Chains A and B, each alone.
Chain A
Amino acid sequence: MTGGQAVTTRLRLVGVLSVMALLFGACSSGATSTPAAPSVAPSVAASVAASPAPSVAAASPAEPSAAAAPVTVEWWHITTNEPGKTIFHNIAEAYHAAHPNVTIHETVLENDAFKTKLATSLQSGEVPDLFQSWGGGIMAAQADAGVLKDITADIASWKDTINPGALSIYAYKGVQYGVPWDMGMIGVWYNKALFAKAGISAPPATWDDFLADVSKLKAAGIVPLAIAGKEMWPSMHLWTYLTLRIGGGDNLAQMVQSGNWNTDACKAAGDQVLKLNALDPYQPGFKGATYPQEAAAMGNGKVAMEVMGQWAPAVEADNSTSKKGIGTDLGWFPFPTVAGGKGAATDGVGGGNGIAVGKNASPEALDFLKFFNSVENATKVNTSNIGLSPVIGTESAVTDPNLQAVLAGRGKATFMQLYLDQATSPAMGTAINEATIGIFDGASTPAKVCQAITDAAAAQ
């Protein structure tokens, strides 16, 4: 009896051990990015971080081979709204139809979810072949970390089909890492009907006129300007424009480059914001407002102006009660010039969307990128108003007069500053956003804002 018990115990032990073995197997294969040896944590962690996991890279499916061999292209994008989502999907399907061996695997993520997922993925070395990018500081950090592919030579044959200014945003230290599919410029969107109601006949060309019009709108009982305090960046663009108009393009570029923001232009821009604040121009509750709320205020005809990019009409319509926005009442004008400022009316702040190429991308992925940015497909971006394609030859597809105005602004640009919170590193971008919203909220001073940004740059 006892002997039998011992044997069954041993048998049970074997069972337990095999279950354990299975479990461990599952653990170690499941957690590809996490080494399964807790006791040697630091050294393993360091080696994982030091070499972007060559073993994982080798396991990547995107390995070029014979023409007919099946290839999967991993494509992550953030076009979650219609009609863009379907347009992107149809382009991927069309490519698959023409090249049956190539499957375009789309991962469509909402903006924030995309950023979080990408960060984790890049750390683990499993880099998508093609993914959403805005160029600038984040792309530079990705390039420095070696997760992007140098595509300078790959796109040499077709790079001239793309607006060079837009293309340059996706280059870093002379190397091309991605291509844009959307490039626009920030300006002032305004409600013509409300302007007429306030007795304003033409959009303001100078900052003094702008302030005078704000007063007229206030006097007519209209909220002049919408900003979004919770998200900070919409007012940051307004502030950037003031800095650009006062100091000029070279001066702003110098500030971005050197990290020294304790300049006359920076402080003067803050002073102008204070002048604007004094008129109490923002919508009620702007300090806690989100960007969709700002867009809704415009789209529902409650506010006369917002400083925003080329996507504004689509987002305003999407967030309005009628889903149509204010239609033909919507107008656009370039940010006004500041008297005595060095910046020209044609200097712009802009940016857009692009696709970065991951380090393991196959030739098929690059071929798809070329297909995506062909005149035929890029035209769809323009006709559906999901962006402004930088592909040369698609301009005529823009029929909306406002977007034509943005396009003309982009075409005439004498200087183009990429959005400050994207031109710099993410931490620096947050610092700029947080510093500048302080002045719109009335909690900070121009000098403090310039000092805070300078401090943030020094801490980089």
Chain B
Amino acid sequence: MSVTSARPSVEWKRPTKWVTISLFLLPALALYLLFVLFPVVQAAYYSLYKWNGLQPLTDFIGLKNYGTALASNTFTTAVTNNVLIVVLSLALQIPFSLFLAVLLNGRFPGRAIFRLVFFLPYVLSEAITGIVFTLLLQPGALVDSGLNGVGLGGFVHDWLGDTGFVMITLFIIISWKYFGFHMVLLLAGLQGIPRELEEAALIDGAGRWQAFRFVTLPLLGPTLRVSVFLSMIGALQLFDMIWVMTAGGPLNASNTMAIAMFKAGLKNNQMGYGSALAVILFMFGLVVALAYQRFVLRRDVEGAVTAFNG
């Protein structure tokens, strides 16, 4: 040890730091490459072939799978359904969660119980939720007899069998499951806002609505934007619950992109076509995520980075 001079160690110092960092990063990076990026590239490659998953990859058909997908009614319906869920979630589910979060942010007895009750559906697994609601929504089951019992028999539908209504049914159930999650997220955001700010606004003569609109809501912006982001990504990847409840039926009316992909690849053995759908789904998610990061989340992230450097 004493033999080693100081000079080389000084020379070694900087490279060692970076070598160490990269070596520590390598396992995670390797796993990421192997299980995330490599399969993405693989899917893109398979999507250029007509392939049933068993035979050799010989039937190169270029972008034909993509053409088939875009021309297929089944797949365009699936895309429409995904977009529908995104729009409905943003228009109804998030405002509702925000409303509840604001209510539960006030002080009143039993507040913790309400918070717990509203959050509970989120804890259930999607499959269990799907099975429970499938049973409740059977013709003549609890939902129907409940509606009949309170004199709303006119509202009774073939909830999961009516092609025109199935997506609405599913949206309500999805909202039921996830509003609690967004509520808790927004509640956490609300609690991070000092109460004094709103109080000051009230003292300055602002009404309750004005104080919420111009003080609380802007300060809740970062949380709200994350909530919207998670909701959009979740809606684009929708699979489990719909698969359990309708399997995309009836007549493909409740297909989503993920369901169309699963059916093509694993049910119909159209691995090439299924891969093309997977790539389209991936691109959808990527474009939405990047655009959202670029145009909406940017200011939040920039703020954070500035604080870090400062």
Contacts and interface: CB of A to CB of B under 8 A. Distances in A.
Given A3-B1, A27-B30, A16 B20 contact: yes
Interface in A267-304: 284-289, 293
A31 B103 CA distance: 51
A24 B268 CA distance: 35
Contact of B19 (A4, A13, A229): A13
A123 B52 CA distance: 10
A441 B162 CA distance: 9
A20 B27 contact: yes
Contact of A4 (B1, B34, B55, B166): B1
Size class of the B contact interface (CB-based, 8 Å): 35 or more
A45 B56 CA distance: 10
A426 B267 contact: yes
Contacts of A426: 267-269
Contact of A119 (B3, B4, B53, B68): B53
Most buried by B among A6, A42, A287: A287
A142 to B, nearest CB: 6
Contacts of B19: 13
B269 A425 contact: yes
A2 interface: yes
A339 B39 CA distance: 56
Contact of B251 (A122, A144, A443): A443
A9 B23 contact: no
Given A9-B20, A16-B24, A119-B53, A3 B158 contact: no
A145 interface: yes
A441 B20 CA distance: 65
Size class of the A contact interface (CB-based, 8 Å): 35 or more
B111 to A, nearest CB: 39
Contacts of B252: 434
A185 interface: no
A36 B55 contact: no
B249 interface: yes
B42 to A, nearest CB: 6
Given A9-B20, A13-B20, A50-B57, A3 B4 contact: yes
A41 B41 contact: yes
Contact of B27 (A4, A23, A430, A441): A23
Contacts, number: 152
A430 B270 CA distance: 11
A123 B57 contact: no
Nearest to A119: B53
Contacts of B56: 49-51
Interface in B49-103: 51-58, 68
B30 A16 contact: no
B26 A45 contact: no
Most buried by B among A31, A115, A285: A285
A443 B162 CA distance: 11
Interface in A215-249: 229-232
Contact of A427 (B5, B26, B269): B269
A437 B267 contact: no
B140 interface: yes
A231 B249 CA distance: 9
Contacts of B269: 119, 138, 141, 425-427
B266 A20 contact: no
29 contacts: A2-B9, A6-B8, A6-B16, A7-B1, A16-B20, A16-B23, A20-B26, A23-B27, A34-B34, A45-B42, A46-B57, A49-B56, A123-B53, A144-B54, A145-B54, A230-B250, A284-B139, A284-B140, A285-B140, A287-B158, A287-B160, A287-B163, A288-B166, A427-B269, A427-B270, A430-B268, A434-B252, A437-B250, A437-B251
A-B pairs with lowest CB-CB distance, top 9 = A287-B161, A3-B4, A145-B54, A285-B139, A288-B161, A288-B160, A427-B268, A284-B139, A38-B38
Interface of B: 1-6, 8-10, 12, 16, 19-20, 23-24, 26-27, 30-31, 33-34, 37-38, 41-42, 45-46, 51-58, 68, 138-140, 158-163, 166, 246-247, 249-252, 263-264, 266-270
